[in-house]
Amino acid sequence: MALEIEGSGRAMTRRQMLVGASLVGMAAFGMSAFAAEIDEALIAAAKKEGHGTLYSVVEPTVTRKTIAAFTAKYGVEIEVDRLIAGPLLQRLSAEEESGNMVADVIISTDKSMVQMAIGRNWFAPVADIPNRVAIPARDQDKFWINIGHIPYSLVWNTNEFKEAPTGWRSLLDPKYKGRLLLIEPRIGAGPAQWYMLMQQTYGDEFLRGLGLSAQFVASVVPGLQQVAAGAKGVYAPAVHLVTDSLLAKGAPIAEIFPEPTVATENYMSIIAKAPHPNVARLLAGYFLSAEGQGLLNPNGWPTRPNVPGSRPLPKLVEIDSIAALGKAKEYAKLLGLG
């Protein structure tokens, strides 16, 4: 099932109306939506625990900068493991079964994995996370808070292709054949959502055509690195944070956001059996602060309103991640993958 959501450049979007409604509700209860909620008692308790662990899918350079700022501010060290959806689920499952939980906080883009973890009682409620009231109601639930939107984009090597692609349909242009790199549809709900959008918008033949033109990769980071290095010419669907990191290093690439596109979300949760529960709450609260949101979403799309440097969202189609993941094998077959 798909639902079209207008980009935030319009006069009043569904997202903006929900933001406004959530803030009005907070005011009615005498709550300051943007109050600094991280108090000295929590900081002291977190320092006593000494350190914590974050499992995250967020682009590594962005994560390192954010965690460095957190440690400089609070004096608490955080170990970071970057894991994609499948390995993240396997790691959490193994830790839960062994009774030796290592993670304190996780960030995942795979809502199906998050829902599975909730069903297994792995996550703690987020009600008492500092700064939570600054996040719109639509971007949080009992066991997770969305800390950033990730609209998918199209990236190309500007040394090889001087003209910008005109949109998703242009991926079938013969000049891209053999130079096109796509994400594998079976690795998680996010890629599957993009392929569902492509199927619904352009049909099965479009996917078959992509399969004849492209090679496939299991992760966006090495995929975009190949395009930046000139090993491939075009990548889709791309993640802005990874693109932005490569652009900062001088990579000869450019990015567009064809409309409509689909977005995944960075779902943050606290582990119910976190070995460092105060560090977990402090880190999660920092991720929801204006400072943390800006660092996690540089030149991007934070969920907290009015963060400096935020960008308007492109026109999005909201697609059921569970339904999309259920059709991932179908998309792989249409693409000619084994």
Instruction: List pLDDT tens digits, range 121-131.
Output: 999 999 999 99
Domain presence at residue 247: yes
Residues 138 and 35 in one domain: yes
CB 260 within 8 Å of CB 4: yes
Residues 121 and 51 in one domain: yes
Range of the domain at 220: 151-262+317-332
How many domains does the chain divide into?
2
Whether 85 shows a pLDDT value over 90: the answer reads: no
Residue 33's pLDDT is: 38
Residues 272 and 254 in one domain: no
CB 136 within 8 Å of CB 19: yes
28-42, 177-191, 200-214, 219-233: range with lowest mean pLDDT: 28-42
Domain presence at residue 6: no
Residues 161 and 218 in one domain: yes
Domain presence at residue 3: no
Look at the block and give the residue holding tokens 């170990």: 79
Residues 108 and 255 in one domain: no
3-7, 33-37, 207-211: range with lowest mean pLDDT: 3-7
HEC-encoded secondary structure of 203-219: CHHHHHHHHHHEEEECC
Domain presence at residue 9: no
Residues 253 and 215 in one domain: yes
Domain presence at residue 92: yes
83-97, 127-141, 289-303, 309-323: range with lowest mean pLDDT: 83-97
pTM as predicted: 0.77
CB 183 within 8 Å of CB 194: yes
* Mean pLDDT score, 240-249: 92
Residues 218 and 90 in one domain: no
Task: Quote the distance between the C-alpha of residue 54 and its chain's center.
Answer: 15
Residues 327 and 294 in one domain: no
Domain presence at residue 222: yes
Residues 274 and 326 in one domain: no
What is the spatial distance between Cα 244 and Cα 248, in angstroms, rounded to a whole number? 6
What is the spatial distance between Cα 46 and Cα 283, in angstroms, rounded to a whole number? 9
Residues 321 and 237 in one domain: yes
CATH number at residue 293: 3.40.190.10
At 75, is the pLDDT very low, low, confident or very high (cuts 50, 70, 90)? very high
Q: What is the mean pLDDT of the chain?
A: 89
Whether 179 shows a pLDDT value over 70: the answer reads: yes
Query: Other CB atoms closer than 10 Å to residue 222's CB: what's the count?
Result: 11
Residues with Cβ < 8 Å from 24, sequence gap 6 or more? Answer: none
At 22, is the pLDDT very low, low, confident or very high (cuts 50, 70, 90)? very low
Residues 72 and 206 in one domain: no
Domain presence at residue 280: yes
What does the DSSP 8-state code read for residue 134?
A: G
Domain presence at residue 207: yes
Residues 162 and 232 in one domain: yes
